[in-house]
Amino acid sequence: MDKTLRVQHLAGFGLEVPDIQVAEAFYTAFGLNAGTEDEVMHLRTDAALKNSAPSEIVVVKGAGQKRLQHLSFAVLPEDVPRFEEHLHRMGVRTVTPPFGQLRQGLWFQDPWGTWINLVPTVPHALELSAVTIEPRIDRHLWQDLRQSVRPDKLGHLLIFTPEWERSEQFFAQALGLRVSDRAVGKVSFMSGGSGVRDHHCFGLINGTHRGLQHGSFHVSSVDQVGLGGLQMHKAGFKEGFGVGRHALASNFFHYTRDPWGTWVEYYADMDKISEAWTPKDWNDLPYIWPQWAPEFWGKEMNANHEAG
C-alpha cells in the first residue's frame, strides 16, 4: 500500500439497539447531543454539531439485541478515489449497504462481514497543550469544576474479533492503519493519519466473534474524567470503573457500562506519537492504577460483547 494512503482518524460508528429511547437517555447523560430523523438517531459532540462535521455515532433501532452495525473512518477528500482503486486491487468490492445513506463516501465489508465506511473529511487539528499547574490562592478550585461534562470528540473504538492477527493485517493493508503497540496475544492498538497524532484511534481485541468492546470520547482533564463518571452514576448508570491511568497510551480513563453491556469511556491525556514511533509488544497489565480494577481483557469485560 502507498505509505501516504492512510485513513486519518475514527469518524464514527453505527449501532443497532433494541430501544432507541434507552440509548438516547444513556448517551445524552454521557454528554452528547441527540437528534432523530426517520427512526435513526444521530449523536454528536458539541464541536461536531457546531461545525456540521460528519463525525458522529449513528444509532439505528434494531430488532432484538444490540450490535455493531458499521465503522467509519475519515479520509482526505482527494484520497477517496485512490482508496477505491486500492481496495479493488485487493479484491475488495465497494458497494453501498441498504443503510448507506447515513454517510457519504465509500462502503465495503471486511472479511468478517463488518461494514466499513470511508468518509471524506478535513482532518481535525490535534491540540498539543502542555499541562500547567495554576497556583490557587484565595479561591476554591472545586467551585470551578461543577459544570456538566461534555466530550469534545470521539477518540477511539475497540472491537472484539476472531482471527486477530489476520484482522490486524487486513486493517493495516486496506486502511493504512499502523500498529502503535500490542498487548501480546490480547490487543492491537492502531493509529491513523500522519505527523503527530493520538497513540491510537482503533484497536482489535482477540475474541470469539465480531463485536464492539468499547467506544471512547475525549475530555480535557482528569477532573473531567472523574466528574464524567460521577455524572453517569447520578444519572442512574452506576456500573463502571475508574478513575485510572492506562499503561499503553497512558491516558486517564473512566468506563461506564451501557444498558446492553458495552463499555463507554471518558479519556484524557493520551500519549502522542510521530512518524519516528516504534511499536512494541508488551506483557504488562493494562492499568498503571488502580490495581483493583477488573482485568480489561478478562471474563468480566468480555461477558457481554455482542455479534457484530
pTM greater than 0.75: yes
Q: What is the pLDDT of residues 179-218, one digit of tens each?
A: 999 998 899 999 999 889 999 999 999 988 889 999 999 9
Whose cell is 468480555? That residue is 302
Report which residue type is found at 262. T
Whose cell is 461534555? That residue is 150
| pLDDT at residue 116 tops 80 | yes
On the 0-12 / 13-18 / 19+ scale of CB atoms within 10 A, 79 is: buried
CA distances from 254 to 9, 86, 233, 263, 293 (A): 22, 38, 11, 10, 11
- Report how far residue 290's alpha carbon sits from residue 274's, in angstroms, rounded to the nearest whole number: 29
13 — phi, psi (to 5°)?
-155, 160
- Predicted local confidence at residue 56, as pLDDT: 84
DSSP-assigned states of every residue in 189-234: EEE-SSSSEES-SEEEEE-SS-EEEEEEEE-SSHHHHHHHHHHHHH
Q: What is the pLDDT of residues 137-177, one digit of tens each?
A: 888 888 788 789 999 999 999 999 989 999 999 999 999 99
The strand pair at 197-198 and 33-37 is best described as unpaired
Whose cell is 475474541? That residue is 207
Residues 6+ positions from 265 with CB-CB distance below 8 Å: 214, 215, 216, 217, 253, 254, 255, 256
Whose cell is 491511568? That residue is 245
Identify which has the larger pLDDT, 242 or 12: 12
> How many angstroms from the chain centroid is the CA of residue 109?
19
Q: Which of 290, 250, 284, 285 is nearest to 268 (CA)?
A: 250
